[in-house]
Structure 1
Amino acid sequence: MENQSAYRVRSVGRDDYVPAYLSLISNALSWGGSRLFLRRFGVGINEWRVMSAIVNQPGCTATQVGDELGLNKSVVSRSLQFLQSRDLVNVDAADGRRVLWLTGPGHELHDQLIEIALKREEFLLAGFSQQEKELLLSFLRRMYDNVPAMNAYDPGE
């Protein structure tokens, strides 16, 4: 049996590590939302996110959707193929670019999904005041702005 005291073990528990909570919450949001949306509407969380990005930026490209959502282009492509097969998204290539639009049924589905998404946010933020929600959003935006520096960090360099 090796002497365990010879190893320096540094442990950080979930209660003291922000990325752990962010990951747990993100996973719960994605898993729960996807399960609900699939059961009720036949679309998963990736399709919902793609639809939402198109509503927020009508006439965008698949590349722009991927950049906006931080999704791999293959995930965006599969989601778009699925949404097109359900007549929820149109791809217009008239100007040389492949621009995306929600169809009438796509807008109808989006309107149903956004109501559920906002209600789920309400549950998530139960007990938070409006001021606390705004403060939380300001913290999250600042954290998001720090992502490039975090991802550029390489202790080997």
Structure 2
Amino acid sequence: MTHRERSVRREDYVPAYLSLISNALSWGGSRLFLRRFNVGINEWRVLSAIVNAPGSTAARLGALLGLNKSVISRSLRLLGTRELVVVDTSGGRRALYLTEAGHELHDRMLEVALRREEILLTGFTVEERTRLLDYLRRMYENVPAMNAYEPEAP
């Protein structure tokens, strides 16, 4: 087989499917969330992360979400302007919390997010969903090793 005959075939390449699904989730979710709630997918992720880890700092949110600090900062600025998030500096750090309006928006968005997940997983049994989540968690655990991989120079 020559080098011209070798290629990554999307239908056999896990990263291609993960990328396609991730892009579709982000683009579709962002369009829907912007139209329906006037916030995008990154703001949804930040709201959800704060609900799950109230009092987190922006740096902690970035680590939890795998987003860089400029995306987190931009989202927090928008959410703060809309009075959905507050910053508590009383403990010597910038702890983030949702306001009552932030919790209300989160809860409305959560219904949509969970329904989208349900549609995405149509046709999967409970056992298949459990296995899928296990596989995805295991792949995620392999990400640091994958990103540390450096091929030897020729």
TM range (shorter): over 0.9
Which residue in 2 is equivalent to 1:60? Answer: 56
Aligned pairs for 1:1-157 (under 5 A) are: 7-156=3-152
Partner Cα distance (1:74, 1:43) in 2: 17
Local SS of the residue matching 1:60:
coil
What is the CA-CA distance between 1:10 and the residue it aligns to?
1.5
What is the CA-CA distance between 1:99 and the residue it aligns to?
0.3
Local SS of the residue matching 1:127:
coil
Local SS of the residue matching 1:34:
helix
What is the CA-CA distance between 1:117 and the residue it aligns to?
0.3
Counterpart AA for 1:59: G
Counterpart AA for 1:130: V
What is the CA-CA distance between 1:101 and the residue it aligns to?
0.1
Partner Cα distance (1:36, 1:125) in 2: 19
Partner Cα distance (1:122, 1:138) in 2: 17
What is the CA-CA distance between 1:119 and the residue it aligns to?
0.1
Q: Which runs of 5+ in 1 are unaligned?
A: none
Partner Cα distance (1:57, 1:7) in 2: 49
Partner Cα distance (1:53, 1:74) in 2: 16
Distance verdict in 2 for CA 1:149–1:6, change over 3 Å: closer
Partner Cα distance (2:2, 2:17) in 1: 31
Residue-pair matches, total: 153
Partner Cα distance (2:81, 2:13) in 1: 42
What is the CA-CA distance between 1:9 and the residue it aligns to?
3.9
Runs of 4+ in 1 over 6 A off after TM superposition: none
Distance verdict in 2 for CA 1:86–1:155, change over 3 Å: same
What is the CA-CA distance between 1:44 and the residue it aligns to?
0.2
Distance verdict in 2 for CA 1:7–1:134, change over 3 Å: closer
Partner Cα distance (2:120, 2:97) in 1: 30
Local SS of the residue matching 1:100:
strand
Local SS of the residue matching 2:92:
coil
Percentage of matched positions with identical amino acids: 69
Residues 71-128 of structure 1 show CA distances to partners (whole Å, capped at 9, x for unaligned) of 0001000000000000000011111100000000000000000110000000000000
